[in-house]
Amino acid sequence: MQISSHIGSQLVDLCSALLLLTCFAIVAQRRLSACVDLFALQSAFLVLTAALVAFLTGNHHIYIAAGLTGLIKVIIIPRVLKKVIARLNVKRELVMNVNVPAGLLICGALVMLAFFITQPILPLGFLLTRDSLAIAFTIVLIGLFTMIARQKAVSQLVGFLVMENGLFLGATAATYGMPLIVELGVFFDVLIAVLIAGIYTNRLQDAFDSVDTSHLTVLKE
């Protein structure tokens, strides 16, 4: 039992680390469609982590959340985003507010910051998923950073979704999932948010002939 829980903990750590790794890949990737693919991959790792936690702890309601993640974040949302990108005239992020090497360095610093902040609260957690909470916080921070560093509406959206993945990992790691009604509500909100944002990118494309949010400067002081 001791050994199996030790291996289980290692496996969960490995999966969470893979999630973090895809985060770095997203920060380094300029092509919009590749960013979406990486997001789908990250969500797949998230499903794996959640399923692993569900299996190891016997909390069956996590399977439901994992299944929904698979359906919404691995299949539906990437498809919606791919459709949006297909309609756009720009496929690559040409101008970034922060260049790739600097961005990666900042993300490295964010990892340290997140581990530093979560240090006092980690001992409270379950042994199995203790480090995952810190990783989840890191992913939230990197998602936030991506939204600031990128200018294209689609990559900002990917940043937002990465944040959501971090939150879901956090909820799974820290508490073995939220109450089911909250979990369902969150999924619903995220799905609607992406659909709405998809409609927006189309309208922005029509109105500004670009989805570069740096063009959104009509409203100023």
Partner 1 sequence: MGLIEVVVLLIAPLLAGGLSLIIHRSALLHAINLTSLSLLVASEIMITRTVLIDGPFTALGQFVYLDALSAFILFIIGAVGLACSFYMRSYMDEQIARGVIAPGRLNLFFFLFHMFLLAMVVATVANSVGVQWVAIEATTLTTTFLIAFWRRRESLEAGWKYLILCSVGISLALFGVVLTYYSSLHVLGDVSEALNVTQLLPVADRLNPPVLKLAFIFILVGYGTKVGLVPMHSWLPDAYTEAPAPVAAMLAGVLEIVAVYAILRMRMIADHALSPAFTGGLLTLLGFASFVTAAFFILIQHNYKRLFAYSSIEHMGVAMIGFGVGGPLGTFGGLLHLMNHAFAKSMAFFAAGNIHRRFHTVEIGQVQGLATAQPWTAMALMIAGLALSALPPFVSFVSEVQVLSALATEGVAGLRFTNSSSLVTLALTDQFCSLWLTGLFLLCAVLAFSGLLYRLTGMVWGVPPEGIVRGETWTLGHLPIIVLAAALVGFSFLLPQPIRQLLDQAMQILLLH
Interaction site with partner 1 (CB under 8 A): 59, 117, 120-121, 124-125, 133, 137, 140, 144, 147, 153, 156, 160, 163-164, 167, 170-171, 174-176, 178-182, 185-186, 188-189, 192-193, 196-197, 200, 203-204, 207-208, 213, 216, 218-219, 221
Q: Give the position of tokens 């991506």.
A: 146
* Of 44 and 216, CB closest to partner 1: 216
* Of 101 and 120, CB closest to partner 1: 120
* Of 3 and 210, CB closest to partner 1: 210
* Of 75 and 180, CB closest to partner 1: 180
The least CB distance from residue 165 to partner 1, in Å, is 11
The least CB distance from residue 107 to partner 1, in Å, is 17
The least CB distance from residue 105 to partner 1, in Å, is 23
The least CB distance from residue 88 to partner 1, in Å, is 15
* Of 10 and 189, CB closest to partner 1: 189
